[in-house]
Amino acid sequence: IVKSSFIFFWYFWARAAFPQLRPDQVMRMCYLILIPLAVLNLLITAFAVLI
């Protein structure tokens, strides 16, 4: 029961501490940050394989 209480507390704390993102904000973050990072990761990995 202690483990369940801890998980329950952690879940509600995280929901209260971090802002709720709207879908348009998530899409903007994906296009501006995550996709360029993924492409950079792909290029670094391809370069590492070639070496």
Q: Examine the pLDDT at 41 and tell me if it is beyond 90.
A: yes
pLDDT digits (tens, 9 = 90+) for 12-28: 998 888 888 899 998 99
Q: What is the DSSP string of 32-48?
A: IIIHHHHHHHHHHHHHH
Q: What angle do CA 28, 34, 40 make, to 5 degrees?
A: 140
pLDDT of residue 7: 93
- Mean pLDDT over each residue of the chain, to the nearest integer: 92
pLDDT of residue 16: 87
